Structure 1
């Protein structure tokens, strides 16, 4: 099992990172809004992640809003040379905590400028365009704005998030797509409808990502697991003296060399537990049992 993965491998500026990253979304307050309940612990989580070998951190300026970006800057700036900070644009939050599209070319430019400011960077290494309100702003207009900012040097690499197979195929025709970020876990592999919209699953695009050498970055939750799936993952966890969450991470790492999991947590203990999942070796029999 490979321990690293390369983003934009065929470009002039490939980025190689360790294959277990960290997603910052849960560092915010309830409903992904406001400051963390324990700010010192949130800062320590970020520092511990990097000290433990995490070289890929996922964030967004609409987490909080701007909470995770400011935490990252406070905890880690000046950034280690091998650290890749990936952000997302295409959405924003209203005061009622609802999620809404923010994806006109002007919106996207404003978001990139805001991310550059709050992260205190001159260039963002990887930005995911999160698709929301499908059809409201044509995909070619959204990606066109992203590629324009890439040419200007504000963005190094462009990725897509929350995409269907058809949308990814279209995106690949419009320009170089470095990465894809979709909901994906052992128990949640296909499209799921949530309160704030539809989330396409990773299984729907994984083979396409593999064909094109594009890392697929899963964001996931065990909350959608069916009882029979929980039973199977619990059995494998018992065999390896691990937790179900650790086995979910290990399953992703073994499922495909093109998967880059980014498990998030607001607990320092859970962070250390998640990182230990990279050392778990699932056998062919384990993977066959899980399915």
Structure 2
């Protein structure tokens, strides 16, 4: 290992400077890939899906799991409860609300205050919890409900004790800034990877990627949780990430995760997979110590 490599911080705190901070390891697990095709229905190999959850938590020590009741529908929540309940005391389950699925499998907004309450109650029931440690409000682009109305409803549910920490997902910088004026924003979950640093929604002319909010997250000590990180990590040209992968004899996906971990101590990757082998490979990325020269080369 080069002398310029530095040891990564192995933990991150959610809810920094609150009465209920939560400390988790810096590689979590995202469950979306445990569903069937189109993020719908049961997994192709249900036993392997259950074993992935058990291995992640009981063998690898992962203590942050990301889910949503509209994965499946409700497939990942039920798998989590079947595999892991009763939960270890240090396990943080993060879910998302703000969307739902129609019978045609389309994604639609479900973000009116009464709908958010319905989603929270459904998550509590299927996850077998009395309080959810962290809930992201997912912003749907074609919603007719003002963002401010939805986020105020989230903080009301927090006051009622149904939610411990409130986070945001798929937000612009302006929405994050507005959210911070309404209450404590514990986390932000936006699309982010080495090759997908910004996310421009052309028909809305809005940026909703990780790069747009990272500095604000760092300033406020808010973990940034990248989603779709591995999906967007495999380039077809200008393959600097491939060169670093070759240097360390690892996969491009592993270097993408290592880059995220080195990019900022406030980034919490949650790589998802439906393969036990890939679960092990993803988690090994935490052992890759990139040098300052590596990071400079990657840019």
Q: Which residue matches 1:48?
A: 55
Correspondence 1:49-128 to 2 at 5 A: 49-51=56-58, 52-128=60-136
- Displacement after TM superposition at 1:225 (Å): 5.1
Name the counterpart of 1:150: 158
Distance in 2 of aligned mates of 1:96 and 1:75:
29
Equivalent-residue separation in structure 2 for 1:240 and 1:206 (angstroms)? 27
C-alpha contact (below 8 Å) 1:29/1:36 kept by paired residues: yes
Q: Which residue of 1 aligns with 2:27?
A: 20
The 2-side partners of 1:5 and 1:165 are apart by 22
**Distance verdict in 2 for CA 1:49–1:108, change over 3 Å:** same
- Relative to structure 1, the CA distance from residue 90 to residue 199 in structure 2 (aligned partners, 3 Å threshold; closer, same or farther) is farther
Change (3 A) 1:194 1:56: farther
Q: CA deviation at 1:192?
A: 4.4
How far the C-alpha of 1:223 sits from its partner, in A, is: 3.8
Confirm whether residue 227 of structure 1 aligns to residue 236 of structure 2.
yes
Q: Structure 2 unaligned runs (5+)? A: 1-7
TM-score computed with the length of structure 1 as normaliser? 0.96
Q: Is the Cα–Cα contact under 8 Å of residues 29 and 272 in structure 2 kept in the other structure?
A: yes
Q: Answer whether contact 1:162 1:199 (CA < 8 A) is retained.
A: no
Contact kept in structure 2, 1:92 and 1:101, CA below 8 Å:
yes
Residue 6 of structure 1: aligned partner: 13
Cα offsets for 1:100-135 (capped at 9, x unmatched): 000000100000000000000000000000001356
Contact 1:183 1:199 (8 Å CA) reproduced = no
Q: How many residues align?
A: 289
Determine if contact 1:187/1:222 at 8 Å carries over to the other structure.
no
Q: CA RMSD in A?
A: 1.7
Q: Partner residue of 2:222?
A: 214
Q: Point out where structure 1 has 5 or more consecutive residues left out of the alignment.
A: none
Q: Deviations over 1:160-197 (max 9, x none)?
A: 000000110111011110000000000001014599x9
Give the whole-Å Cα distance in 2 for the aligned partners of 1:194 and 1:24: 28
Task: Give the match for residue 290 of structure 2.
Answer: 282
Return the offset for 1:201: 0.7
> Distance in 2 between the 1:260 and 1:266 partners?
20
More helix by share: 1
- Find out whether 1:272 has 2:288 as its counterpart: no
Residue 222 of structure 1: CA displacement? 4.0
Query: Is 1:240 matched up with 2:251?
Result: no
Q: Distance in 2 between matches of 1:290 and 1:228?
A: 14
